[in-house]
Amino acid sequence: MKAKIIITPKKAVVDPQGKTVRSALEQMGHQGIKAVHVGKYLEIELDGTDKEIARKTLDEACHRFLSNPLIEDYKLEIE
């Protein structure tokens, strides 16, 4: 199994990286970009086949360690 975790900054937190990338994209001529949010992507390779157990364990890890719930949101997918 493989877990894919996407971590993004919360809307309330200023994201200077996202703003800078957006401005760079505009300068390159890309139009219609409302906002860019720069986050992190983690790919975790797992033993076993029980997706629900993996989800429960990794959900806790995301909340406690992999993301900081005060400043970040996360999305967890297991395939």
Partner 1 sequence: MNFAVLQFPASNCDQDAIHALRDVLGHPARYVWHKETSLGDADAVIVPGGFSYGDYLRCGAIARFSPVMQAVKQFADNGGLVLGICNGFQVLTEAGLLPGALVRNRDLQFHCEHIFLKTVTPDSPFTSKIPAGKLLKIPIAHGEGCYFADESTLVAFKANNQILWQYCSATGDVTEGANPNGSLLNIAGICNQRRNVAGLMPHPERASESLLGSDDGRWIFESMIAALQNKTVAQAA
Binding site for partner 1 (CB under 8 A): 9, 12-14, 16-17, 20, 65-66, 68, 70-71
Name the residue nearer to partner 1 (CB basis): 17 or 57: 17
Measured CA to CA, the distance from residue 55 to residue 78 in angstroms comes to 7
- Within 13 A of 63's CA, how many CA atoms are on the CB side? 6
- Residue 9: DSSP 8-state: E
Q: For 61-64, which contacts have Cβ atoms below 8 Å and span 24 or more sequence positions?
A: 62/5, 62/7
Please identify, using beta-carbon distances, which residue of 24 and 50 lies nearer to partner 1. Answer: 24
We find the least distance from the C-beta atom of residue 59 to partner 1, in angstroms, to be: 17
Q: Which lies closer to partner 1 via its Cβ, residue 51 or residue 64?
A: 64
CB of 13 to partner 1, least distance (A): 6
